Structure 1
Amino acid sequence: MVEPVETPAPEGGAPESQQRDAPRPLPLAAGAVMAVAAGVALLLALPPYGVWWLAPVGVALLAAAAHRRRLRAGFGLGMLAGLALMVPMLSWINVHVSVAPWLILGVFEAAFIALMGAATAYVSPLVDRFRWAWPLATALLWIAQEALRSRAPYGGFPWGRLAFSQDDSPLLRLAAVGGAPLVTFAVALAGGLLVTAAWRPWNLWSARLARGRLVLSAAGLALGAVAVAAAGLLVPTAKPAGPPVTVAIVQGNVPRLGLDFNAQRRAVLENHVTATLALAGRVAAGQEQRPDLVVWPENASDVDPLRDATAAARISTATDTIGVPILVGGMLRGPEQGQLRNVGILWLPGTGPDLDQTYVKRHPVPFAEYMPLRRIARMVSKDVDRVATMVPGQRPGVVRTGPVVVGDVICFEVAYDGLVRDTVTNGAGILAVQTNNATFNAAEARQQMAMVRLRAVEHGRDALMASTVGISGFVTADGALHQDTGFNTQEVVVRQLHSSDGRTLATRAGVWPEVFLVALGLVLIAGSVVVRRRG
């Protein structure tokens, strides 16, 4: 049990019984340690560590650390937790670039958790007055923080959401009901139950009740947290009943990792061509089932195949030899000088590119695929001028391949709820994530794969992730990962998936569960204003 430190009553102060019950925070030093421990627990819950049950523990530790603080102290403790989470979680940014962008992004993302720490401190009087509301308040503040961080600025950066730590948890199934926001809500609610159980004095009962009664009540709340974690087991996962489709993922690999992976663009393209030709050879020899569709990853052809005849010829050779369409991850120049488009383009045997079935990435990554505030950014890193201007697409990533309608999202887009949902509501039968992890490492790839697993459950779709260097693999609609590849290797994996035209409750509800929970959070803040004014 967590015990607040008791201080003697000042001379002429309130009676000892009132002093004992007066609301006090934990000692600041203890709060700081707990805040750092919270960030570490949240980090370890995420891939590549995957200790998912530590996520509610991290939530509980931060809630306890910031409780009853002044706003500045709550902000500072939230910042400690945020830094302990975000800086090491995003360390893959520093693998092949300078330290400055990594630290700037880590500190900036930590600031959102700092704001939540301040909000946690602000609602403390309300929580002390209505102790039953503490778990709910904790969950609502997490939802509000993630909703804001996923949208601002420049479209937000949702990496590190609580929901993305639950790929092996029973709570993953809740994604089919309310998407990532509901999973986050359940994780934070479990953490709120834990902190309510651990806090003393525990004001649901009179202090004069026997200690045994208090222990039993606290144990009940702790069991409630466990029950929340197990609730997902009651939610059934979708079972796509559409026609089967055999899909091959070609992970061609690159000559070398890092920002200059595309210095040998033709070598990267050739890797994917030769791996596909080898697959065709195994099919011809009866060693492998002929796929209905082949998926190449993002940046498989950084040479614009619509402008470069040699690149187009090599892709056509691969397509004609395997005899089925290839969804090619490519880079197209234009439409204006200095501009690029990151695309998934369907290449057909015998006829070549189908421009009507081309998806242009809708959410280019700021400071990586386009450069806001370029003059200022140049002061931070000399690599700024290596970033071209990526032109965003305007329509959802729905690619009709013939055998199946593919919901295509590219790289970081899988982290954004609406971008994936749009593909399903527009007819996607399976989901495909084309990505390039050559500038990062296996930890980043594992974090991204966790998002794919959540999206598969959320929309009841079989899914896949195709990466240039790994990790690639298939995900069934229950969130299970199959045939995941190694990192920095050339591999080809083939699996039969089932398409679906059904919609889960999460798909139908769209953004409204998150809107409802954020609205409740605003009501919570308003209630805190009232309680504070009444003293």
Structure 2
Amino acid sequence: MPRRERPLLPLWAAVLAAVVGGVVLDAAFPDIGWWPLAFVAVAFALVSLIGRSIGGAFLVGLAFGVAFWFVHVSWTTRYLGVVPWFALAGLESVLWAALSVPLTLAYRWLPRFAPGRWVRLTALPALIAGLWTLRELILGNWPYTGFPWGRIGMSQSESPLAHLASWVGVTGLTFLMVLAVAAGIEWARAGRWRDARTAVPAAAVVALLFVLPAFPTSAAGGLRVGSVQGNGPSGYFDARERGDILNAQLEATTPLLGEDLDLLVWPEGGVDSDPLADRGTARLLDALSERVDAPLLINAATARGDDIFNTSMLWGEGEPQLHDKTHPVPFGEYVPDRWFFQMLAPDLVGLIGREYTPGTNPPLVEAGGVPVGLAICFDVIYDDVVWEGARDGAELYVFQTNNADFRDTDENEQQLAFARMRAIETGRSVVNISTVGTSQVIAPDGSILDGLPAGEVGAMLTDVPLRTGLTPAVVIGGAVQLAIGWMSFAAIVLLGVLATARRARERRRP
């Protein structure tokens, strides 16, 4: 059996490279947003893992994870301090490290059982890209509902590669980006500069990244949307009285009174009482809908029986149409296994008095006959919510959010970039409206139609293009994830079985 190849870097240099790679990867996301750095970061990560032992791979992966996650989600300290920051970033870093080990094993095992040059130039990069993407899928789904915030593909909202998301989704874009880097590394390691054929795999992937156009959807008219950024006291610790947030939205809506509009949109938490239970709030909303001669798309905490929901409501066209947030935020909107975490951090856990229940109703309402897809705040990062709305017929999206607990941090810009990627991925316009900003109306190609800066009261009145037709990302996105995830998992397991069997045979030899 061929001996394990030597690491490309000594361990100390590999750890240093991993730290640099993690910091560089964060810089690829907003608010810096230098998207080419994502490729640089992947290169640092892969080079540092080649030839490592299992323990070395975990250490290098941990160094990368800590450098990336502790910077990337530092906005969690804005009000709650370092404990939630350490808990979230620490967990993500440990998972990142553990799931870096299969990457190292792929570099070790595949060349042993298929040592040919073309296997290393094609199959090995594909396996590496698949395992990297599998790691993203695991972190995005587990534990609890996962946290798909640091996906490589999401860093490309301002890049010419974003259009690829309309074909293969964000997951597929991650795979192709890592594939391009891994193929380039193997081409460089092969060292056959005069044989132009060896550059074909890497060059083909790079060409695919930049040449394939966005998938077109069909124009279906427009909708005149008024959207309001009230900038009220909507943060968790903001001092306020009952009705202050609602009054802030009403005051910010004033410039739209008398305007011709088809839909009026308020942000997440724009109504601070339950209009389904509070008759005074319901009458006020009825009067506003009648005055603007259009339905309202609002959001409030609602109670039905013993359950509490984060609910978006279309108000003013008969019975309210409801969508409850599909993925309430663990440790933000509910506490999983509260009994356990109460013992660890009773003061912090005690702050979360409400226990939001996950919604099961579709992320879609119909405003004046126009289907409108919804995603409430962090639900924008979950593929299933966005794709379900498109498959149910959404002709545009409204993403209602409340960034008040993260004022003056990168969180606002990162979430806005995710909204832009969703517009491109689905070929739909997006109205992304926040309580405190930044709010934007985004065209199906990702361009900005209208916007409001953070921290200011304002309203937009925008003719929003409507689209029909499903992009391949929506149609096959789930299958792409299953194929990449399960095929990569099966491949590394098979290689592990073969490696174990070979070692057993060698031990039995005299």
- TM-score, normalized by the shorter chain, greater than 0.5: yes
Alignment of 1:83-482 (within 5 A): 83-128=66-111, 129=115, 130-132=119-121, 133-198=123-188, 202-203=189-190, 205=192, 213=194, 226-231=206-211, 234-255=212-233, 258-261=235-238, 263-281=240-258, 283=259, 290-336=260-306, 339-348=307-316, 354-355=319-320, 357-378=321-342, 379-380=344-345, 382-387=347-352, 388-441=354-407, 442-482=409-449
8 A Cα contact 1:298 1:435, kept in partner? yes
Distance between the aligned counterparts of 2:261 and 2:435, measured in 1?
A: 19
8 A Cα contact 2:442 2:449, kept in partner? yes
Distance between the aligned counterparts of 2:70 and 2:77, measured in 1?
A: 10
Distance between the aligned counterparts of 1:274 and 1:383, measured in 2?
A: 34
**SS of the residue aligned with 2:194?**
helix
Residue 502 of structure 1 deviates from its aligned partner by 0.9
Alignment of 1:498-513 (within 5 A): 498-513=465-480
**SS of the residue aligned with 1:261?**
coil
Residue 67 of structure 1 deviates from its aligned partner by 1.0
What fraction of aligned residue pairs are identical, expressed as a percent? Answer: 31
Distance between the aligned counterparts of 1:235 and 1:114, measured in 2?
A: 35
Residue 533 of structure 1 deviates from its aligned partner by 4.6
The amino acid that maps onto 1:79 is: L
Distance between the aligned counterparts of 1:100 and 1:39, measured in 2?
A: 21
The amino acid that maps onto 1:39 is: G
Distance between the aligned counterparts of 2:325 and 2:75, measured in 1?
A: 22
Distance between the aligned counterparts of 2:169 and 2:50, measured in 1?
A: 29
Distance between the aligned counterparts of 1:22 and 1:122, measured in 2?
A: 11
The amino acid that maps onto 1:118 is: V
Question: CA, structure 1 residues 262+329, in 2 after alignment: closer, same or farther (shift >3 Å)?
Answer: farther
Distance between the aligned counterparts of 1:203 and 1:510, measured in 2?
A: 34
Which structure 2 residue ranges, 5 or more long, are not aligned? 504-510
The amino acid that maps onto 1:141 is: L
Task: Describe the superposition over 1:88-146 as per-residue Cα deviations: whole angstroms up to 9, x where unpaired.
Answer: 11111110112101111001112232123211111122354342133212211111101
Residue 217 of structure 1 deviates from its aligned partner by 7.8
Distance between the aligned counterparts of 1:35 and 1:488, measured in 2?
A: 36
Distance between the aligned counterparts of 2:186 and 2:347, measured in 1?
A: 49
Question: CA, structure 1 residues 113+228, in 2 after alignment: closer, same or farther (shift >3 Å)?
Answer: farther
8 A Cα contact 1:56 1:191, kept in partner? yes
Task: Describe the superposition over 1:6-46 as per-residue Cα deviations: whole angstroms up to 9, x where unpaired.
Answer: xxxxxxxxxxxx99x95344201110111011111210111
Question: CA, structure 1 residues 469+235, in 2 after alignment: closer, same or farther (shift >3 Å)?
Answer: same
Which structure 1 residue ranges, 5 or more long, are not aligned? 1-17, 206-211, 284-289
**SS of the residue aligned with 2:257?**
helix
> RMSD value over aligned CA atoms?
2.3
Partner in structure 1 of residue 19 of structure 2 = 36
Residue 532 of structure 1 deviates from its aligned partner by 6.3
**SS of the residue aligned with 2:96?**
helix
Distance between the aligned counterparts of 1:346 and 1:373, measured in 2?
A: 33
The amino acid that maps onto 1:503 is: L
Residue 265 of structure 1 deviates from its aligned partner by 4.3
**SS of the residue aligned with 1:186?**
helix
Residue 448 of structure 1 deviates from its aligned partner by 1.1
Residue 306 of structure 1 deviates from its aligned partner by 2.4
Partner in structure 2 of residue 484 of structure 1 = 451
Residue 297 of structure 1 deviates from its aligned partner by 0.7
8 A Cα contact 1:171 1:230, kept in partner? yes
Task: Describe the superposition over 1:419-472 as per-residue Cα deviations: whole angstroms up to 9, x where unpaired.
Answer: 111111112111111111011134112111111112112222111111100111
8 A Cα contact 2:232 2:249, kept in partner? no
The amino acid that maps onto 2:350 is: D
Distance between the aligned counterparts of 1:278 and 1:334, measured in 2?
A: 34
Question: CA, structure 1 residues 314+160, in 2 after alignment: closer, same or farther (shift >3 Å)?
Answer: same
Distance between the aligned counterparts of 2:170 and 2:46, measured in 1?
A: 21
Larger deviation, residues 158-167 vs 500-509: 500-509
**SS of the residue aligned with 1:189?**
helix
8 A Cα contact 2:103 2:132, kept in partner? no
Larger deviation, residues 492-501 vs 359-368: 492-501
Larger deviation, residues 149-158 vs 221-230: 221-230
Distance between the aligned counterparts of 1:127 and 1:479, measured in 2?
A: 40
Distance between the aligned counterparts of 2:56 and 2:482, measured in 1?
A: 29
Residue 224 of structure 1 deviates from its aligned partner by 5.4
Partner in structure 1 of residue 64 of structure 2 = 81
What TM-score do the two structures reach when normalised by structure 1?
0.86
Residue 159 of structure 1 deviates from its aligned partner by 0.5
Task: Describe the superposition over 1:374-400 as per-residue Cα deviations: whole angstroms up to 9, x where unpaired.
Answer: 233233251312321112221211101
Task: Describe the superposition over 1:345-380 as per-residue Cα deviations: whole angstroms up to 9, x where unpaired.
Answer: 11117x6xx33x111112111111111122332332
Residue 271 of structure 1 deviates from its aligned partner by 0.9
